[in-house]
Amino acid sequence: MTNEEFRKHAHHLVDWMADYLNNVSEYPVKAQVAPGEVKSHLPQTPPTRQEPFEAIFDDFERIIMPGITHWQHPSFHAYFPANSSPPSVLAEMLTATLGVQAMIWNTSPAAAELEEQLMEWFKKMMDLPSHWAGSIQNGASDATLNAILTAREKKHNFTTNQTGLTQANLRVYCSEQAHSSIDKAMAIAGLGKNNLIKIPVDEAFALQAEVLEETIAQDVAQGWQPLMVVAAIGTTGTTAIDPLKKIAQLAKKYNLWLHVDAALAGTALLLPEMRWIADGLHAADSFVFNPHKWMFTNFDASVYFVKDKNALLNTFAEHPEYLKTKEDNQVTNFRDWGIPLGRRFRALKLWFVIRSFGVKGLQQKIREHLKLTKQFENWLTAQPHFKLMAPTVLNTVCFRYRNDTLPQPEVNKLNEELLERLNATGKVYLTHTKLNNWFTLRVVIGQTNVNQTHIDILIHQLTKASEQLTIAQQ
Ligand SMILES: Cc1ncc(COP(=O)(O)O)c(C=O)c1O
């Protein structure tokens, strides 16, 4: 493709992108294709000759688009959002055009220094400790793995990277509701999933600090070495808030690394009135949150802070000859801050987003989402056919269809059916979790452009689907 052809197609694509964003709510929010359907339209072998861009783009519209789930659809209430915004997309266009690989300062000083400065901005925007050191990671899973590896190295005086693990006696603690990325990190770090001890939760699905203390004390008595506790500020299932302050006290008492996973909920710390959810955060050793979830920045952008920068660098720094530069002593080389060497220039989109919204603009949107969530929760609690299943702390409402005459497995089946009916409409997209063995539907209100209209659509669809369910049972 020549540069002139690129210019022509890029103009066309920008128009397509703007139209898409205008009309996204007209698409079925969840892709309605069957497994294998997209692949059945793709040739078995790659093309040997070049193909015109028009043909490629036609196939994008014909084959790919029907298989797209529209995460930027304002009725996307599934999982947690991976929301975006125009300034974020514009920055990504520049990022792709520059094609920067930001592994070290030298490979793009602007990428390194913008990232450094943005981390300072985040500390101010979210009232985080000024001495923390931050970087952008791919995702919260990477950050949690990073934290476990750093804690492991620090515990063993930075010898395990060299010698390998000689004993499997380190233990990590989190709640039963904590994210599966911690299990994965335990496996990858060589600590073993069996050594991730899941602490029971209370009726609000938050970790029980007393049980944590008893468990740690028992483990110490039996010769285990407690290494780390992961506190969740906003669990994936229900956005439960673990009692961070009490956990921080235990971490101090037993000399544990305290990692705080606030993947979604971290964005709420932009609001002074929501900072109670992270009371105790100042004692953390590491903290992660994902602007790529709820802060209008398209995937991927995960912000990770550590208290002890030297421990992090001692864990990850490698100095091969081919990466040495004469500025190494004066600059930040982010390749030393995590697992991959290569890094995308992700700071640019965060910069565009923060400047384009302004802190006040970001706050206003988050407040609006919280208000809509409360309103939806209020509607739900007034409905005899629905039961709220967990406290609504942030932007996630957990509920189920109720039928008090049927046993739990049958009610669960009805709820599965309800979820399928709702998602088959293409008008809304919800996902589920299980709480105390109840199949529970989750509504997350965090898409960038979600507003009152979309809550009305949600209520309408829920009312209709539950009525159909009731009729089908008669
Ligand atoms: C609480 C929590 N932690 C970690 C993760 C993993 O995030 P990522 O996809 O950025 O690795 C998620 C994903 O939803 C999450 O909800």
Q: What is the structure's pLDDT at 243?
A: 98
Q: What is the pLDDT of residues 115-162, one digit of tens each?
A: 999 999 999 999 999 999 999 999 999 999 999 999 999 999 999 999
Per-residue pLDDT averaged across 274-302, rounded? 98
Measured in angstroms, how far is the CA atom of residue 245 from the centroid of ligand 1? Answer: 22
Compute the distance between CA of residue 65 and CA of residue 379 in angstroms, rounded to an integer. 34
Q: Which amino acid is at 446?
A: G
Per mean pLDDT, which range of 174-183, 303-312, 351-360, 465-474 is the poorest?
A: 465-474
Yes or no: domain 1-30+69-84+358-474 corresponds to CATH 3.90.1150.170: yes
Query: Is-contact 288 304, C-beta < 8 A?
Result: yes
Provide the H-helix boundaries in 325-444. 347-381, 408-424
Average pLDDT of span 217-236:
98
Q: Where in the chain do CATH 3.40.640.10 domains reside?
A: 100-344
Q: Where in the chain is the domain with CATH 3.90.1150.170?
A: 1-30+69-84+358-474
Is the pLDDT at 474 greater than 80, yes or no? no
Distance from the alpha carbon of residue 181 to the mean position of ligand 1, in angstroms: 7
Distance from the alpha carbon of residue 452 to the mean position of ligand 1, in angstroms: 27
Nearest one of 322, 328, 323, 336 to 161, comparing CA atoms: 336
Angle CA 436–442–448, to nearest 5? 150
Q: If you average pLDDT over residues 393-412, what whole number do you get?
A: 96
What confidence tens digit (pLDDT) does each residue in 168-196 have?
899 999 999 999 999 999 999 999 999 99
- The CA distance from 167 to 256, in Å, is 18
Quick one: what percent of the chain has pLDDT higher than 70? Answer: 100
The structure's pTM equals 0.97
Nearest 5°: phi and psi at 123? -60, -40
Q: Are 160 and 152 in contact (CB under 8 A)?
A: yes
Cβ < 6 Å from ligand 1: which residues?
80, 139-141, 179, 181, 232, 235-236, 261, 263-264, 290, 302
CATH topology for 100-344? Aspartate Aminotransferase; domain 2 (3.40.640)
The 10 Å Cβ neighbour count of residue 410 is 12
Rounded-to-integer distance, Cα 285 and Cα 447, Å: 31
Question: Residue 166 — pLDDT band, cuts 50, 70, 90?
Answer: confident
pLDDT, tens digit, 9 for 90 and up, residues 71-116: 999 999 999 999 999 999 999 999 999 999 999 999 999 999 999 9
Structure confidence at residue 291 (pLDDT): 98
Best substitution site from 79, 137, 141 to test ligand 1's pocket, by max atoms within 8 Å of Cβ? 141
Q: 306 has which bridge partners?
A: 133, 286
Ligand 1 centroid – CA 471 distance (Å): 38
The fraction of the chain above a pLDDT of 90, given in percent, is: 98
